Amino acid sequence: MDSKIIDGRMVAGQIFQKLKDDVSKLDKKPCIAVFLVGDDPSSRIYVNMKKKRCDENGFDSIITQLPGDISQNDLIKQINKVNKNKSVNGILVQVPLPAHISEEAVIEAVDPQKDVDCFHPYNLGRLMAGDPVFLPCTPAGVIVLLDYYGIHIHEKRAVVVGRSNIVGKPLSILLLSRHATITICHSRTANIREETKKADILVAAVGKPNFITSDMVKKGAVVIDVGINRVEDPDSKKGYRIVGDVDYDTVIKKCEYITPVPGGVGVMTIAMLLENTLRAYNLQNIPTRI
């Protein structure tokens, strides 16, 4: 593989192997419960991918498929049941949820000790305070990739495009905790190109194909593409292909490192989810202060 390309599959493979070894030494399997509401095809694919990784690496998973018209109250009742089930260590509610259900209310219903996605405000607060219980999966995956490739974070100027609670904001906090100087860009940022061009580490978490073009990138920058976008492709069997937020073919000529899509950040997210599930298992079996 080109030395510029950050190989998420290879790094995640090593993490899965270590997790598998660690889990094989436990008395019982760590278990994650996943709620899938409705029939969004992408969500189903993501849930199946998570289940497959659990199976391969010695984790138990319980997938609960619920109808798209389930009420918010009924969904929260189901989550409460699993909160109390001692044999379940981690809980994940696949988002997006149907429009009549408040994602915030559902996320807050998950026991913070089982919040392996690290979406609960308690866990985001602990992250913000510099004392995290869990690390948010996609942002943690990005940091692991940077570390694996020996890319220094401290004293670097990092620009994160996107400010969601899932990616942009928590990743900015993690980069800050590693002593980068942070700029967060979003849809109301004036002259975004002027900001991105200053980045030593540029992260795209926007959800728009080809959003980052080579004129937005400083020569020698490290470019992390979090985006997962489906674009039509009549040449592909499926009729579509998955691309990131970065105009890969032009940006790769200018940067020092780049993550491909697929094969970059995406698989790391699942590796971090399993790490959090093992951490939850350990915390629940060795009582701590939460």
Which residues are known to be catalytic?
Answer: 50, 94, 117
The DSSP-derived string for 180-235 is -EEEEE-TT-TTHHHHHTT-SEEEE-SS-TT-B-GGGS-TT-EEEE---EEEE-TT
28/208 with CB nearer ligand NDP = 208
31/265 with CB nearer ligand NDP = 265
- Tracing tokens 């906090």 back to the chain, one arrives at 173
Query: Does the footprint of ligand NDP cover residue 186 (CB under 6 A)?
Result: yes
Query: Does the footprint of ligand NDP cover residue 209 (CB under 6 A)?
Result: no
Applying CB under 6 A, which of residues 164, 181, 250, 282 lies at the interface with ligand NDP? 164
Say how far residue 132 (Cα) sits from the centre of its chain. 16
Query: Does the footprint of ligand NDP cover residue 172 (CB under 6 A)?
Result: no
Contact in structure between 37 and 94 (CB atoms under 8 Å): yes
Please report how close the Cβ of residue 42 comes to ligand NDP at its closest, in angstroms.
8
Pick the piece of the chain touching ligand NDP (CB under 6 A) from 11-19, 76-84, 186-194, 282-290: 186-194
Length of the chain measured in residues: 290
Instruction: Give, in order, the Cα–Cα distances in Å from 243 to each of 7, 151, 273.
Output: 16, 24, 22
Instruction: Give, in order, the Cα–Cα distances in Å from 111 to each of 42, 107, 253.
Output: 26, 9, 46
Applying CB under 6 A, which of residues 171, 205, 217, 255 lies at the interface with ligand NDP? 205
Applying CB under 6 A, which of residues 25, 84, 86, 188 lies at the interface with ligand NDP? 188
Query: Does the footprint of ligand NDP cover residue 227 (CB under 6 A)?
Result: yes
